[in-house]
A and B are shown apart, each in its own frame.
Chain A
Amino acid sequence: MQKFPGKNRNILIFALTVLAGAAIVISESTGLEPRSGQKLSGDVSDFYERAPVRLLVPNNPGGGYDAYARLLAPFLARNLGTQVRVQNLPGAGGIRCLAELYRSPRDGRTIALLNGAGMANSYIAGLLKPGLDIRSLSYIGRVVYEPRVLLLRDDSAVNTFGKLLSAEEPIIYGATGFGGSMYLNAVITAEMFGSDVQVVRGFHNSAQVQRALLQGKLTGAWTSLSSSRLLGPGQLRLAAQGDTSRHPRLPDVPSVSEFLQLAPDPARARSLLESGTAMHRLGRVLAAPPGIPAARLEFLRNALRDALQDPSLQEQMAQSGRPLDYASGRDMEKWVVSATVLPDDLRRAFVNASRSQR
């Protein structure tokens, strides 16, 4: 065994200095300061200036959520008057990030970018841990809302939604997994129009589904607009869009609502469509833990609104192909209730689409 020279004091002093230095930096970065939440008297902007804000993201660096968060962070920081540090907490389809948001101090210094539609769906299907009530979150505002689109092969005999509904042969959809949004949309649309569908599950991602669709192994696929890649003549086309009305970014793509008269029970189909849309319009939403002080929530809401109106943020988002659809936190509060309070019959439809009976 090696014997290292120096039981001398210089090294000891050096070591202690290094340790002390490290301790200082670390404690500083943890924001170990007087417990916040108890000092409500001070001005809200003073409160935010004192320490950085954590922005939690439910995916790894590089994904769509991460890109939105990292583009947004500096603009949010400018409007909040403090640093905004993005923290990635991937895993369990976003539930891990949601759980951490719930555990975080309720002082308004922790916020998260969440998949609102996914959370609402898991909530309805009873897949969230008890106690994680997404209705109690403090909603700051929606950043973007991705239209759900139906992809069909351009050169196939079934290349419009109308033809799909009247098709003789069984419809084969492709999806990633059971309970994922691709699966959910395919099953709910089938339920609306009473169609007979088979959903092939287990694809790696939406891109792989689209490849199989192009190879002629599938009839169609429901996916989000941003992951539709193979659009073009002779390839894939947007045949329908899944909301109650046409989407401003897709004026030429018919909404499913335009076909409701073809459904066996148009009234029920409409309520399924409305619930799905209510869930879906929660989009990618910025939220804080439940019960943060009202003044701080207001401050956060204004900061998000102003950040999203900043022309240079809009330009950067546009450059990287990331649209923005701001909606206020107050609207989100209302929408999350209408998305999660469902009549039993509709609730069962959504639960069945998320949990296997086998």
Chain B
Amino acid sequence: MSVLEALQIGLMEAMSPQVLPFLLGGALFGLVLGMVPGLSGHFALAMTIPFLYGLSPPAGIALLLASRSTVAQGGGVTAILFSTPGSGQNAATLLDGPAMRDKGQAGLACGAALTSCFLGALFGVAVLALLLPVLQYVVEFMGPAEISMLVLLALTFVSVLGRGDMLRSVIAGLAGLFLATVGVDHLTNHERFTFGLLSLRDGLPMVPFILGIFAVSEMIDMWSDPGRAADSKRHSLSAGDVQRQIFRGALAVFRKWWLVLRCSSIGTAMGLIPGLGSVAASFVAYGHARATSKSASSFGSGNIEGVIGPESANDAVEGGALASTIAFGIPGSSSMAIVLAGLMVLGLHAGPEIITDHTDLVFVMVFTVVLGNLLGSAVGMFLVNPLSRLSTLSPRLLVPVLVPLIITGAYAVNRSVFDIGVVLVSGVIGYLMKRLGYARSTLMIGFILGSALEVNFSLALQLDGPLFFTQPAPLALLVVTLVFLTYNLGLFTRRSRHGESQDTTTTKPGGSGAAGERLPGLEPVLIGLLLPLLLLALLVALQRGPGQAITPAAILAPLVVLCAWQFRRCRAQLRSVPLTTRGLRAAWDQAPALAEAARFAAWIGMLLLLILVAGHYGAVAAFTCYLLMRTHERDWSFALATAGCVTLGLYLIFEIALDIELYRGLMVRALQGFSWA
């Protein structure tokens, strides 16, 4: 059959009454799952596999792929409305989405996010369909040498991400690269910075880390800054307003078609690279959108381009990932490995034959992704209105409900209590970074791309020798990278010369409402504490043999130098640090939001301890109840009822619907006969 015939048959099959219900069911399932923090497309796929037995191939494909394709939509909406990303791929949306919500543009942001998601997916599968004849060459093109150059290019896309302060931004990026080195180094099979912990052997767990840096830090910010709550009250919109905004948001995306196209291309290309995927794609797209925007300075405080960029990239990945998976039976990621397993259950063996023998099924895949995304976006748009009602509730009510949901999602990824610790600690780090103006997005990009760069660089060295970048394709990529970098640096110097007033040490760091409020000397004190630790880490790394030391040392050495430089820049603040207890108390009194944040961080620590001892449910109930009690005038009945509902809700979602046993706590485990070791 010809390609056109196959296209027609594929479309008919995808729309047929035997297939459409599965497509609808899968899409809705993915959408809802996407709204639960931590649960990604990987999870959605794994959940649908058991239902594939006995389905016809088109119906099975529809169920399988539709469930994965809508996860990003659900997570995007909750990222904007509740500062709670569904998964890593929506975390970049958090940089501008919630800021738009606080400006009263929640509908606008959601409309834009959902539309760009759909357009990105459309672009991704269109590329997949167009590439079918030459797919083999495209995928074979991507060797380690090319990949390491591509990753380098991606890193330069984001080289100007910082809020006008290059030094802080570079420090954040290096810190991300450093955190990526934690875990067993697969080249030498030695542990790096794991402190002998089993849970760190595979590296810092990515999803909990992202949820902490972005979501928990927002929770701390929302909680400690009641002024902003009053602000968003003022912006409470009528249903009609929201609907109009959604429509305008969708239109805005079409007006920015060139940005959508570029970011979707980034997504599709990233999808072809094994081991990267949608999280990296969304952050790189965000960086790219910012680097090339005319209004770069408003990024981070509610620029619609900051929503369009990542959201059009995270679903475009699908096309690229599917291409290499179905054409060669080579899964680019663990979720694509599940797609392969699913296809096998349906009696299909991926490989070049699937393209020639089952072209119609390939088009069923294409149309499933398109229709699933369309459906996800459409249903998502209807959900925005009721959800945005909820998002205007007081943060003092929302945060006690959302924090338990976030930590439970983080736990569910690996069923690990350690991950709850990661999410909470990185939440505090993320909050401090936000307050002090260190770009969290650069940290994230360093963290995600770091290991891909190290591994592929070393593979390229092993396979093609030290001059691997002189081969034609890597060389071309390197030239593009250098041109881009020079252009961006030029742009940066010009910009900083124009707006010198906004730069230097006294810049008002991020954080919307309480940005003006500062605790004198916080930054130099923190850096002063961090410096010796980094030095120690550098010394530890250097103790190892050259094979193991090279990567950590190459990252840590400049990091130490830059931190020392930043310390020098801001040490003047140290003079105003009050050294008496009374002075300290007065300083805290002048910064009520920061003091409240510190208190919140302490409660978070208590929550972690409680989970360990009393188990997930008891701890969450106590945490929610206590927070509500504190702020709702000791209204016992209300606090108890809400805490009960939250606990029951978590039980129903995770334990009953998803069959994930939450941690029971050391006490219950001891009763059950578990040993302590």
**Real complex partners, A and B?**
yes
Distance (whole angstroms) from the CB of A264 to the closest CB of chain B: 27
- Does residue B103 face the partner (Cβ distance < 8 Å to A)? no
- Does residue A358 face the partner (Cβ distance < 8 Å to B)? yes
Distance (whole angstroms) from the CB of A223 to the closest CB of chain B: 13
Distance (whole angstroms) from the CB of B333 to the closest CB of chain A: 9
Q: Are B199 and A96 in contact (CB under 8 A)?
A: yes
Distance (whole angstroms) from the CB of A24 to the closest CB of chain B: 11
- Does residue B357 face the partner (Cβ distance < 8 Å to A)? no
Distance (whole angstroms) from the CB of B200 to the closest CB of chain A: 9
Q: Are B635 and A7 in contact (CB under 8 A)?
A: yes
Distance (whole angstroms) from the CB of B289 to the closest CB of chain A: 28
Task: Tell me which residues from 39 to 72 in chain A have a Cβ below 8 Å from any Cβ of chain B.
Answer: 60-64, 66-67, 70
Q: Are B459 and A215 in contact (CB under 8 A)?
A: no
Taking a contact as CB atoms closer than 8 A, the residue among A8, A26, A91, A229 that contacts B416 in the complex is: A91
Distance (whole angstroms) from the CB of A77 to the closest CB of chain B: 14
- Does residue A195 face the partner (Cβ distance < 8 Å to B)? no
Distance (whole angstroms) from the CB of B208 to the closest CB of chain A: 12
- Collect the chain B residues with CB atoms within 8 Å of residue A232's CB: 351
Distance (whole angstroms) from the CB of A192 to the closest CB of chain B: 21
Identity of the chain B residue whose Cβ is nearest the Cβ of A10 in the assembled complex: B637
CA separation between A129 and B199, bound complex, in Å? 13
- Collect the chain A residues with CB atoms within 8 Å of residue B397's CB: 2
Task: Tell me which residues from 1 to 59 in chain A have a Cβ below 8 Å from any Cβ of chain B.
Answer: 1-4, 6-9, 11-12, 14-16, 18-19, 21-22, 25-26, 29-32, 35-37
- Collect the chain B residues with CB atoms within 8 Å of residue A217's CB: 143, 463-464
Q: Are B633 and A3 in contact (CB under 8 A)?
A: yes
Q: Are B651 and A178 in contact (CB under 8 A)?
A: no
Identity of the chain A residue whose Cβ is nearest the Cβ of B345 in the assembled complex: A320
Q: Are A32 and B672 in contact (CB under 8 A)?
A: yes
Q: Are B202 and A4 in contact (CB under 8 A)?
A: no
| A201, A204, A356, most chain B CB atoms within 10 A | A204
Per-residue contact bits, chain B 388-424, to A (CB 8 Å; 1 contact, 0 not): 0000001011000000000000000011100000000
Taking a contact as CB atoms closer than 8 A, the residue among A19, A88, A102, A210 that contacts B644 in the complex is: A19
Distance (whole angstroms) from the CB of B30 to the closest CB of chain A: 15
CA separation between A91 and B671, bound complex, in Å? 26
- Does residue B329 face the partner (Cβ distance < 8 Å to A)? yes
Q: Are A93 and B334 in contact (CB under 8 A)?
A: no
Query: Which range contains the number of A residues in contact with the other chain?
Result: 35 or more
Task: Tell me which residues from 184 to 204 in chain B have a Cβ below 8 Å from any Cβ of chain A.
Answer: 184, 186-190, 198-199, 201-202
- Does residue A170 face the partner (Cβ distance < 8 Å to B)? no
- Does residue A323 face the partner (Cβ distance < 8 Å to B)? no
Distance (whole angstroms) from the CB of B351 to the closest CB of chain A: 7
CA separation between A217 and B638, bound complex, in Å? 66
- Does residue A354 face the partner (Cβ distance < 8 Å to B)? yes
Taking a contact as CB atoms closer than 8 A, the residue among A29, A89, A102 that contacts B677 in the complex is: A102
Q: Are B345 and A319 in contact (CB under 8 A)?
A: yes
- Does residue A248 face the partner (Cβ distance < 8 Å to B)? no
Task: Tell me which residues from 194 to 210 in chain A have a Cβ below 8 Å from any Cβ of chain B.
Answer: 198, 200-205, 207-208, 210
- Collect the chain B residues with CB atoms within 8 Å of residue A198's CB: 462
- Collect the chain A residues with CB atoms within 8 Å of residue B635's CB: 3-4, 6-7
Distance (whole angstroms) from the CB of B467 to the closest CB of chain A: 15
- Does residue B674 face the partner (Cβ distance < 8 Å to A)? yes
Q: Are A66 and B46 in contact (CB under 8 A)?
A: yes
Distance (whole angstroms) from the CB of B210 to the closest CB of chain A: 17
- Does residue A140 face the partner (Cβ distance < 8 Å to B)? no
Q: Are A61 and B47 in contact (CB under 8 A)?
A: yes
Distance (whole angstroms) from the CB of A292 to the closest CB of chain B: 12
Q: Evaluate whether A62 and B338 lie within 8 angstroms (CB atoms) in the complex, with A4-B632, A18-B645, A67-B49 already known.
A: yes
Q: Evaluate whether A22 and B186 lie within 8 angstroms (CB atoms) in the complex, with A87-B661, A212-B463 already known.
A: no
- Collect the chain A residues with CB atoms within 8 Å of residue B637's CB: 6-9, 11-12, 15
Per-residue contact bits, chain B 636-662, to A (CB 8 Å; 1 contact, 0 not): 111011011101100100010001010
Q: Are A212 and B548 in contact (CB under 8 A)?
A: no
Taking a contact as CB atoms closer than 8 A, the residue among A3, A105, A177, A321 that contacts B672 in the complex is: A105
Distance (whole angstroms) from the CB of B416 to the closest CB of chain A: 7
- Does residue A243 face the partner (Cβ distance < 8 Å to B)? no
Per-residue contact bits, chain A 64-94, to B (CB 8 Å; 1 contact, 0 not): 1011001000000000000001111111110
| A16, A26, A62, most chain B CB atoms within 10 A | A62
- Collect the chain B residues with CB atoms within 8 Å of residue A63's CB: 334, 337-338
- Collect the chain B residues with CB atoms within 8 Å of residue A67's CB: 49, 341
Task: Tell me which residues from 30 to 57 in chain B have a Cβ below 8 Å from any Cβ of chain A.
Answer: 42-43, 45-47, 49-50, 53
Q: Are B617 and A26 in contact (CB under 8 A)?
A: yes
- Collect the chain B residues with CB atoms within 8 Å of residue A229's CB: 328-330, 351
Q: Are A178 and B617 in contact (CB under 8 A)?
A: no
- Does residue A188 face the partner (Cβ distance < 8 Å to B)? no
CA separation between A204 and B347, bound complex, in Å? 27
CA separation between A43 and B640, bound complex, in Å? 44
- Does residue A249 face the partner (Cβ distance < 8 Å to B)? no
Taking a contact as CB atoms closer than 8 A, the residue among A18, A92, A212, A316 that contacts B198 in the complex is: A92
- Collect the chain B residues with CB atoms within 8 Å of residue A21's CB: 648
Identity of the chain B residue whose Cβ is nearest the Cβ of A320 in the assembled complex: B345
- Collect the chain B residues with CB atoms within 8 Å of residue A200's CB: 459, 462-463
Q: Are B330 and A207 in contact (CB under 8 A)?
A: yes
- Does residue A230 face the partner (Cβ distance < 8 Å to B)? yes
Task: Tell me which residues from 93 to 122 in chain A have a Cβ below 8 Å from any Cβ of chain B.
Answer: 93, 95-96, 99, 102-107
Q: Evaluate whether A32 and B655 lie within 8 angstroms (CB atoms) in the complex, with A1-B631, A6-B637, A211-B139 already known.
A: no
| B144, B458, B621, B655, most chain A CB atoms within 10 A | B144
- Does residue B335 face the partner (Cβ distance < 8 Å to A)? yes
Identity of the chain A residue whose Cβ is nearest the Cβ of B139 in the assembled complex: A211
- Does residue A179 face the partner (Cβ distance < 8 Å to B)? yes
- Does residue A355 face the partner (Cβ distance < 8 Å to B)? yes
CA separation between A208 and B671, bound complex, in Å? 47
CA separation between A62 and B647, bound complex, in Å? 28
Q: Are A93 and B455 in contact (CB under 8 A)?
A: no
- Collect the chain B residues with CB atoms within 8 Å of residue A70's CB: 49-50
CA separation between A354 and B184, bound complex, in Å? 13
- Does residue A176 face the partner (Cβ distance < 8 Å to B)? yes
CA separation between A175 and B428, bound complex, in Å? 39
- Does residue A311 face the partner (Cβ distance < 8 Å to B)? no
Distance (whole angstroms) from the CB of A311 to the closest CB of chain B: 15
Q: Are B668 and A32 in contact (CB under 8 A)?
A: yes
Q: Are A103 and B677 in contact (CB under 8 A)?
A: yes
Q: Are A105 and B186 in contact (CB under 8 A)?
A: no
Identity of the chain A residue whose Cβ is nearest the Cβ of B338 in the assembled complex: A62
Task: Tell me which residues from 602 to 636 in chain B have a Cβ below 8 Å from any Cβ of chain A.
Answer: 617, 621, 631-633, 635-636
- Does residue B140 face the partner (Cβ distance < 8 Å to A)? yes
- Does residue A251 face the partner (Cβ distance < 8 Å to B)? no
Per-residue contact bits, chain A 291-305, to B (CB 8 Å; 1 contact, 0 not): 000000000000000
Q: Are A89 and B337 in contact (CB under 8 A)?
A: no
- Collect the chain A residues with CB atoms within 8 Å of residue B49's CB: 62, 67, 70
Q: Evaluate whether A205 and B455 lie within 8 angstroms (CB atoms) in the complex, with A15-B640, A66-B46, A85-B659 already known.
A: no
Q: Are A210 and B330 in contact (CB under 8 A)?
A: yes
Per-residue contact bits, chain A 162-203, to B (CB 8 Å; 1 contact, 0 not): 000000000000001111100000000000000000101111
Distance (whole angstroms) from the CB of A210 to the closest CB of chain B: 7
Q: Are B415 and A87 in contact (CB under 8 A)?
A: yes
Q: Are A91 and B198 in contact (CB under 8 A)?
A: yes
Q: Are B632 and A3 in contact (CB under 8 A)?
A: yes
- Collect the chain B residues with CB atoms within 8 Å of residue A343's CB: none
Per-residue contact bits, chain B 532-545, to A (CB 8 Å; 1 contact, 0 not): 00000000000001
Per-residue contact bits, chain B 666-677, to A (CB 8 Å; 1 contact, 0 not): 001001111111
- What are 25 pairs between A and B in contact, CB < 8 Å? A1-B632, A3-B635, A7-B638, A11-B638, A12-B636, A18-B645, A22-B621, A26-B651, A35-B671, A62-B45, A63-B334, A63-B337, A86-B659, A87-B415, A90-B415, A102-B677, A177-B189, A201-B187, A202-B455, A204-B275, A208-B274, A210-B330, A229-B329, A356-B190, A358-B547
The 3 closest A-B pairs by CB, nearest first: A177-B186, A105-B673, A61-B46
Q: Can you name 5 extra interface pairs (CB under 8 A) apart from A3-B632, A178-B187, A354-B189? A: A89-B415, A95-B198, A96-B198, A214-B140, A320-B341
